[in-house]
Chains A and B, each alone.
Chain A
Amino acid sequence: MIGTFLLLAFFLVATASGEIAMTYGMKATGEPARLRPKEILQFLGRAVRNGWFWVGVPLMAASFYALLILLSWQPISFVIPASALSNVVGTLGAKYILREEVNAARWAGVVLVCIGVALVSLDSIPAR
C-alpha cells in the first residue's frame, strides 16, 4: 500500500509539474498575434524551440504511465477519484510556482470540479 501512495504522489507531482512546465514555456513563448493558421503555426514553431516545452512533455508522459501502473495495481474506484486531486496539486503549483492569483472563488471552483469528477468517474465503473 505504501508503494501505491508513493506512486500516487509521483503521479500527482508529475502531472502538475509537467503542466506547469508547459504553461511556463507557453507564457515565455508568447501568445499568437491572431488565431489564424499561419500565426498558430509560427507560435507552435516558437513553442517547440522552448526548453520548458521539452521539460513538460516527458513529465506528462511519466504521469500517464504512472496512471496506467496505478490502474493495474488498484481498483479504478480508488485510482480515478484520487487522480482528481491533481486539480488541487496543480492549483497549488499555479499559486506558488507560477504566482497566479488564486482567489476564494477559483479555489471553490477547483474543489467542486474535483468532487464532480470523482462522482462522474465512480459512476462510469462497470459493475462486477
Chain B
Amino acid sequence: MVLAMVVCANTGDLLLKRGMSSIGAVEFTAEGLSHAFRLTIFNPTIWMAIFFLLGFMICYMTVLSWADYSYVMPAGAFGYAVLTVCAVAFLHESVSIRRWVGVLIICVGVMLVGQTKPRTTEVPASQKVAA
C-alpha cells in the first residue's frame, strides 16, 4: 500500500508537470487565471494527474488508518529514490554523484524505519469491531 502511495504520488506529479507545461506559463491576472483554468479543465493529462493524486490520497488515508504516522512519513520519501531511478531508466537523464548519495541515504533511512514495528499504538476495542 505504501508502494502504491509512492507510485501514485510520483505519477500524479509527473503528469501534472507535463499537463501544466503543455498549457504554458500562467499569467497572474484575473484574465490569465481564468484562461488557465479553462485550459486545465479540458486537459486530459491534468485529469489523469488528478486521478493519480486522488489515488495517492486514498492510499495515504488507508495506510494511516493502521500504521504509525512516524512510520508512513519517512517511508513516503522513498518516492525520491523511485523518481531518480525512473529518470535514469526512462528519461535517460544523467544523475550526479551527490544525488545518488542522497538517494542512498534515503534508502538506508527508509530501511531503518522499515525495520521498526509499523504500529505501536493500541487499537480500541470499538474500532476492532468496526473494522
Q: Is B49 an interface residue (CB 8 A)?
A: no
* B115: A residues at CB distance < 8 A: 105
Q: Is B102 an interface residue (CB 8 A)?
A: yes
Closest to B77 in A: A113
B70-87 CB mask vs A (1 if < 8 Å, else 0) is 110110010010001000
What is the CA–CA distance of A32 and B76 in the complex, to the nearest angstrom? 21
Known contacts A32-B131, A106-B71, A110-B74: does B98 contact A123 (CB below 8 Å)? yes
How many residue pairs at the A-B interface have CB separations less than 8 Å? 150
Q: Is B32 an interface residue (CB 8 A)?
A: no
Instruction: Find out whether the CB atom of A106 lies under 8 angstroms from the CB atom of B99.
Output: no
Q: Is B127 an interface residue (CB 8 A)?
A: yes
Instruction: Find out whether the CB atom of A116 lies under 8 angstroms from the CB atom of B77.
Output: yes
B107-121 CB mask vs A (1 if < 8 Å, else 0) is 111111111110011
Known contacts A87-B77, A105-B115, A123-B96: does B65 contact A31 (CB below 8 Å)? yes
* B98: A residues at CB distance < 8 A: 119, 122-123
Closest to B116 in A: A106
Instruction: Find out whether the CB atom of A115 lies under 8 angstroms from the CB atom of B105.
Output: yes
Interface size on A, residues (CB 8 A): 47
Instruction: Find out whether the CB atom of B69 lies under 8 angstroms from the CB atom of A100.
Output: yes
What is the CA–CA distance of A43 and B1 in the complex, to the nearest angstrom? 15
A62-92 CB mask vs B (1 if < 8 Å, else 0) is 0000000000000000000000000100110
Apart from A116-B107, A117-B102, A120-B84: 17 A-B pairs, beta carbons within 8 A: A26-B65, A31-B127, A40-B58, A40-B62, A98-B68, A100-B68, A101-B120, A105-B116, A109-B116, A112-B112, A113-B110, A113-B113, A116-B105, A116-B109, A119-B99, A120-B103, A120-B106
Q: State the A residues within 8 Å of B (CB).
A: 19-20, 22-23, 26-33, 35, 40, 43-44, 46-47, 87, 90-91, 93-95, 98-103, 105-106, 108-113, 115-120, 122-124
16 A/B residue pairs, CB under 8 Å, sorted by A:
A19-B69, A19-B73, A27-B64, A28-B127, A31-B66, A31-B127, A31-B131, A44-B58, A47-B65, A98-B70, A109-B112, A109-B116, A116-B104, A118-B102, A120-B106, A123-B99
